[in-house]
Amino acid sequence: MNGLLSFQPTNDDCDFARIARKQDQMFHRVATLCPERAEIITESFKRSEGKSIVLRRALALADILDKMTLYIEPEMLIVGNQASRNFAAPVFPEFSFNWVIDELDEFDKRSGDSFQVSEETKARLRVLQDYWQGKTHQDEVLANLPNINRLAEKQGVLHRGGISMSGDGHIIPNHDFVLEVGYSGMRDIAKQHLAEDADLSDEQKDFYQAVIITMEAALNYCKRFSALAKEEAGNTADAKRRDELLAMSDMFAHLMEGKAQSFYEAVETVYLTHLLMMIESNGHSFSFGRFDQYVWPFYEADINAGKITKEKALEILTHFFIMTNSLNKVRPWGHTQYSGGYPLYSNLMVGGMKPDGTDGTNDLSYLSLEAMALTGLPEPNLSVRFWKGTPHALMKDSARLIRKGFGMPSIFCDEVVIPAMMTLGLSEEVAREYASMGCVETAIPGRWGHRATGMTYVNFGKILELVMNNGCDPATGVQLVKVNGKAGRDINYESYDDVWAAWNQLLEFYSDLAVDCDRVCDRALKHHDADAFASATINCSLERGKTLKNGGAEYDFVSSSNIGPSVVGDSLAAVKKLVFDDQTLTLKQLRDAMDSNFDGIEGARVRKLCRNAPKFGNDIDYVDNIVADVFESYLKLLPKYKTDRYGQGPKGCGYTMSTSNITSYVPNGFDVGATPDGRLATLPLNEGASPCLGADKEGPTAVINSVAKLPNQKIAGGQLLNMKFTPSALEGEDNLEKFTAFMEASRVKNIFHNQFNIIDSDVLRAAKAHPEDYPNLMVRVAGYCALFSTLMPEAQDAIIARTELSW
């Protein structure tokens, strides 16, 4: 069968033609805006003024689920819509709204992530603007953001991103719990607390009442689909589809009124829970966790009872995967540049070690790979865990899927990630339950609060530029730190140690500001993202009677997004070697060349020296150790930072490190002038922990050996490595086996994570020039995948510029 990896179907329970039709529909989908949610929540908030915010948001969710348009996607087995149309993005005015109105006439003109917006939709949204003035999450953040942070943003060092204008997202529900007790069970737990706990605070009472409201709303939402499916069945002439719709109607009539009753119900519930959290709040990175582990009992029971075949299970999985691509999120253009390609970052993970130390690979691990092979769409963001006990067959199937060239799955090494998670104080048993959340962020499903990473973006490349200019930004003239105590850019470092001391000084200064910014945003989100439904799916929230932002989670760890450590390491290595070790250049010569963007004969001479200095990614200790020093310089700062929930219930409440920075390495580069590694002004920084674009010249093994020297077992927020191979490197069984062995070697080479693009750069250039000819070309962008045609040109160029590796 076309599109399959290794599974051979034995019957017709999986309709491959239908899957292909729906896949093609998703490849040609058109992004639009839907005004329904904005209208409904505006009217709901007008009626609920005076009540606590958690109740207001709960009542609003109930209104939305009761009044929003419902539809059943034709031919689909998995049901649930976020907006009135496929791939329409709802609008969330309570988080930020003025930018929506300001950009209404520009959405269709974007160079990436464009949206078609009808004149009717524009009019329906514009009449809502007045009500939200001064009431949004963004309004509160801006009112409380210190001026020094604004200046750091003006310099281009800090960027607030989505945390200042949207919901938080970034959680993995306790799916075992949700599937066991259902929405009615969570409602009943809240009712029990209200009835039996005599000393509840008003905050707790309101939270429990909000849980009751949202869970009953979710159950009513299911009942609406039951009625709709029955109605459509009566209007359907096709006997097969009529039977499917009637079965769907029966399922939704009792869905989540207690434990899921079958594999089909379990998968539908996982999708619905994901969907409902996205309707409740417009965060992203709501993720599926270890899907093959918590759905396995339902699959195994149905297989053993003869209620389902592998083929039918595969069909249900593919429909689930397809429907995750019907969802969408709209962001301001300024933030879209940091996350291009309409990403939702809904990570789904399979494989890996179980808490008892045995291997968790099962049929669903393989079937999830099969489903992705059949769909080939950006969502869900598929990841595979592996360790020494992982069957070679799972790694080989992962390699086969990677060979298809659309960037999935990414792989995570248990032998590195589990020790990294244990640095946070987790037991080994708990750490073994980790899953990826969003791009490459790591968290413990059902135990983590919002957001393992992705708080304030910190531009390491810009900090390096400030180091070279006495803390003064050449572009704006803003100087918040004077390294030598004097105003202006002039500085003369006497030794590399002096340069390194300045790096540490500025890194700490701006990291402190980033944490201050995180607190401002967190405190505003306590109010504006009071998400009773999502919170109830996380351990301890129902027990404590608190939303996640108010301390409801079992654990609480976050990280800023740090962009450009390889650029910094390569630049420091160039300064050390050329200026201080070999004395080939003076610091003034280097700075003058950088000021001119390496223009002219002298600039070209200096740039050649800079480009020929040692570069990370080539297994050169001289520079690799400096890049590792850059990582350690940030890690040593973390013990002093605490989240806003410290002392309020969750364990930890501290910071960890992550290099998950989505496409932000491209726009962050816009703000950075020429750097000592020979990079020209405004070009991209490096992505994650990957080498700088084009810097790795010695092949894939050298890249792995360089990254292996980093403190990967300390980076509990997620470490990202992106590699691009030529398609010929994986052609044939011998090369496929070689690539599989390459992936498996990662676990003994201290590699946290790896992900791959298997594509020819000439194809990418053709797709950039003629996007209409490549509607289904999907690429690994950063910690996520996207259709290449949806990316802005600068992000496309950055992907084209990645080194093509081969054996």
Question: DSSP characters for 436-482?
Answer: EETTTEEE-TTTB-S-SS-SSEEEHHHHHHHHTTTTB-TTT--BS--
For residue 38 the two structure tokens come to 């904005």
**What are 62-110's pLDDT values in tens digits?**
999 999 999 999 999 999 999 999 999 999 999 999 999 999 999 999 9
**Cβ neighbours, 10 Å, residue 183:** 29
pLDDT at residue 3 greater than cutoff 50: no
Is the separation of the CB atoms in 551 and 446 below 8 Å? no
**How, if at all, do strands 381-386 and 347-351 pair?**
parallel
Query: Which amino acid belongs to residue 631?
Result: F
Quick: pLDDT tens for 375-387.
999 999 999 999 9
The closest of 330, 333, 329 to 106, measured between CA atoms, is: 333
For the chain, the maximum distance between any two Cα atoms, rounded to a whole number of angstroms, is: 83
Helix (H) or strand (E) holding 680: none
The DSSP letter of residue 306 is: T
Residue 1, pLDDT > 70, answer no
- Both tokens of residue 121? 């939709």
Contact 125, 100 (CB under 8 A): yes
Model confidence band, residue 802 (pLDDT cutoffs 50, 70, 90): confident
Distance CA 734, CA 251 (A): 47
- Which 3-state string (H, E, C) describes 517-579? HHHHHHHHHHHHCCCHHHHHCCCCHHHHCCCHHHCCCCEEEECCEEECHHHHHHHHHHHHHHH
Mean of the pLDDT values across residues 347-361?
98
Average pLDDT over residues 224-242: 97
With contact defined as beta carbons under 8 Å apart, do 473 and 575 qualify? no
User: Which amino acid appears at position 309 of this protein?
Assistant: T
Which of 85, 84, 104, 106 minimizes the C-alpha distance to 39? Answer: 84
CB 409 within 8 A of CB 382: yes
How many CA atoms within 13 Å lie on the side-chain side of 295? 29
CA–CA distance, 233 with 239 (Å, rounded to integer):
9
Lowest mean pLDDT across 37-46, 443-452, 616-625: 443-452
- Per-residue buried b or exposed e for 25-58, using 16+ beta carbons within 10 Å of the residue's own CB: bbbebebbbbbbbbbbbbebbeebeebbbbbbbb
pLDDT average, residue stretch 396-407 = 95
Mean pLDDT of all residues in 519-544 = 97
Over range 300-305, report the average pLDDT. 98
The yes-or-no verdict on residue 9 having pLDDT over 80 is no
Region 387-397: mean pLDDT is 97
pLDDT value at 663 more than 60: yes
Q: Is 80 left (phi over 0), alpha (psi -120 to 50) or beta?
A: left
pLDDT band at 48 (very low <50, low <70, confident <90, very high): very high
Residue 547's H or E segment, with its range, is none
* pLDDT tens digit sequence for 708-761: 999 999 999 999 999 999 999 999 999 999 999 999 999 899 999 999 999 889
- Chain CA centroid to CA 734, Å: 34
Alpha carbon separation from 402 to 314, 373, 726, 743 (Å, rounded): 19, 9, 12, 11
Mean pLDDT of 462-472: 98
Judged against a pLDDT cut of 80, whether residue 616 lies above it is answered with: yes
Strands 410-413 and 435-437: unpaired
Return the amino acid letter for 160. R
Q: What is the DSSP letter of 199?
A: T
Task: List the one residue out of 359, 210, 197, 362 whose CA is nearest residue 291.
Answer: 362
DSSP helix/strand/coil, 556: strand
133 vs 96: CA distance, rounded Å: 9
Which SS3 state, helix, strand or coil, does residue 64 take? helix
Sequence spans of domains, the chain: 137-167+458-653+667-695
Question: How many whole angstroms separate alpha carbon 807 and alpha carbon 790?
Answer: 31
pLDDT of residue 337: 85
Q: In DSSP terms, which residues pair with 548 in a beta bridge?
A: none
DSSP 318-344: HHHHHHHTT------HHHHTTS-SS--
pLDDT at position 584 is 98
pLDDT surpassing 90 at residue 409 = yes
Residues 386, 309, 393: CA angle, nearest 5 degrees: 25
The amino acid present at 22, given as its one-letter code, is K
Does residue 548 contact residue 541 with C-beta atoms inside 8 Å?
yes
Measured CA angle at 766 (ends 762, 770), to 5 deg? 175
Query: What pLDDT score was predicted for residue 2?
Result: 40
3-class state of residue 713 by DSSP: helix
Q: Secondary structure of the chain: what % helix, strand, coil (to 5)? A: 50, 10, 40
Joined tokens for residue 604 = 């070209």
Q: How confident is the model at residue 6 (pLDDT cuts 50, 70, 90)?
A: low
C-beta of residue 512 within 8 angstroms of C-beta of residue 146: no
Rg (CA), the chain: 26
CA distances from 83 to 69, 557, 641 (A): 7, 32, 39
C-alpha–C-alpha distance, residues 397 and 737, integer Å: 10
Q: Give residue 292's pLDDT.
A: 98
Among 450-464, 644-658, 678-692, name the one with the lowest average pLDDT. Answer: 450-464
Place 338 in a pLDDT band, splitting at 50, 70 and 90. confident
Q: How far apart are CA 551 and CA 544, in angstroms?
A: 9
Residue 676, SS3? coil
d(CA 589, CA 676): 11
Average pLDDT of the chain? 95
Q: Where are the beta strands (DSSP E) in 46-128?
A: 88-90
Cα(501)–Cα(140) distance, rounded to whole angstroms? 37
Helix (H, G, I), strand (E, B) or coil at 158: strand
Find residue 725's DSSP bridge partners.
Answer: 758, 805
Q: Is the pLDDT of residue 666 over 70?
A: yes
- Residue 4: the pLDDT is 53
